[in-house]
Amino acid sequence: MAHSFPLPRTCPFAPPPEYERMREEAPLVRASLPGGDVWLVTRHAEAQRVLAGTGISTNPATPGHPTAAFRTEAPSPEEEQALEHFRTGHFIDLDPPDHTRFRRLLIPEFTVRRIKELRPDIQKLVDGLIDDMVAQGSEAELVEAFGLALPSLVICRLLGVPYADHEFFQARTREMLSTDDDSHAAAFAIRDYLDGLVTAAEQAPKDDLLGRLITGGRLTHDELVGVMFLLLVAGHETTANMIPLAVLTLLRHPDQLAALRADPAGWPMAVEELLRFHSIVDWAAFDRVAVEDQEIGGQLVRKGEGIFVLGASANRDERVFERPDAFDIERGARHHVAFGYGVHQCLGQNLARAELEIALRTLFERLPGLRVTVADADLTAKYDGAIFGLTSMPVAW
């Protein structure tokens, strides 16, 4: 029997409860969507196998790609043409060698060394945001004042996007990642904005990421717009959701928070556990389609069959993680798949780790009395969102 999909979360600290039963059932299970059935990958080993890419495509234009299963009607020729133009430069949706061409251009901007050079700037931004919160009194809305603000500041500075426009792309991104009918309109609005930004930058390139891509001369105008779209949206939305969830989790585990305060060297390992524990992206970036018949986890997957890897399920796999539902900062969970796996592993993972580590360490150092002022049951969350997170989290110190 096919499972329904997607399944909503019901708790800030756990994936959908059905995932555990699905993992026990099989490494691959069938799920029903409006446009047809797809495979769901439930376990860690099979998740890595699919995400590694052998015999697998990530391109939405590949016949059988699971994004089509969300639709009950095929797009018109005009809509298909608009979508094809919109996806130009979206390298995460490309297979090698096309994907490789983009990734090679961008890797130098996100190396460990490059992010290490950015850490002092990130620290200044974090301190400035906390200064602003303290200046307003002893209470704040952490999602807006800190969770959203920090990644927006960082990615704007990295890409050369005017921070004055951050509210525009934050609001449009939230709309785009919702299930509302306006999601496509929001995505096109962001792209139109970035089209103008790239056009202006092409006239006078600066010494920033966009400027270096322009002067390199290896991408077309539309490809530049698409790359900027991906980096802007991915560069702030995921980290913005992780920061408040991480704060909430650490506050609910005071012994582990005390250990981090006593030994700040533990923060990098704690960040890995937070990434595994929450797995906020889950399936949203892990849509694939088989391009040849193959066996995965003992199951025959035929050419043209769509696949969703459930990252939040793989990261709770009892076969890999002991007591997977427990939060444990000493776990050493670096082999999680929160950033994906293989050739499509998240390009900005080093930046995300640095932002989370600096933000959390500094927040708890400077605001030792930090506390959430409402019960967990009263926190509002994106339970039906493609990327999970809290919509608000009032705090005091």
Q: CA nearest 56: which of 287, 283, 230? A: 287
Task: Say how far apart CA 45 and CA 296 lie, in whole Å.
Answer: 10
219: amino acid identity, one letter? L
φ/ψ region of 342 (left if φ > 0, alpha if ψ in -120 to 50, else beta) reads: left
DSSP at 35 = T
Residue 321 has pLDDT above 70, yes or no: yes
Query: What average pLDDT does this structure show over 309-335?
Result: 94
Task: Say how far apart CA 218 and CA 357 lie, in whole Å.
Answer: 34
pLDDT digits (tens, 9 = 90+) for 234-289: 878 899 999 999 999 999 999 999 999 999 999 999 999 999 999 999 998 899 99
What pLDDT score was predicted for residue 301? Answer: 97
Residue 170 has pLDDT above 80, yes or no: no
**34 vs 336, more confident:** 336
The secondary structure element, H or E, covering residue 294 is strand 294-296
The pLDDT confidence band at residue 180, using thresholds 50, 70 and 90, is low
Domains, in order of start, for the chain: 3-396 (1.10.630.10)
Residue 181 has pLDDT above 60, yes or no: no
Task: Say how far apart CA 233 and CA 164 lie, in whole Å.
Answer: 16
Neighbours of 346 (CB within 10 A): 18
Task: Say how far apart CA 40 and CA 33 lie, in whole Å.
Answer: 11
Q: CA nearest 48: which of 246, 374, 336, 371? A: 336
pLDDT digits (tens, 9 = 90+) for 61-117: 999 999 877 876 777 788 778 888 888 999 999 999 999 999 999 999 999 999 999
What pLDDT score was predicted for residue 178? Answer: 61
Question: Could you tell me how many residues make up the chain?
Answer: 397
What pLDDT score was predicted for residue 1? Answer: 65
Strands 28-33 and 36-41: antiparallel
Ranges 227-236, 241-250, 350-359: which has the least confidence? 227-236
Strands 3-4 and 28-33: parallel
Residue 174 has pLDDT above 80, yes or no: no
Share of residues in the chain with pLDDT > 70 (%): 98
Burial class (CB in 10 A: 0-12, 13-18, 19+), 295: exposed
What pLDDT score was predicted for residue 272? Answer: 97
CB 257 within 8 A of CB 250: yes
User: Please, what is the average pLDDT of the chain?
Assistant: 92
Task: Say how far apart CA 314 and CA 178 lie, in whole Å.
Answer: 24
What predicted TM-score, i.e. pTM, was given to this entire model? 0.93
Query: What average pLDDT does this structure show over 216-233?
Result: 92
What pLDDT score was predicted for residue 217? Answer: 87
Q: CA nearest 48: which of 321, 286, 333? A: 286
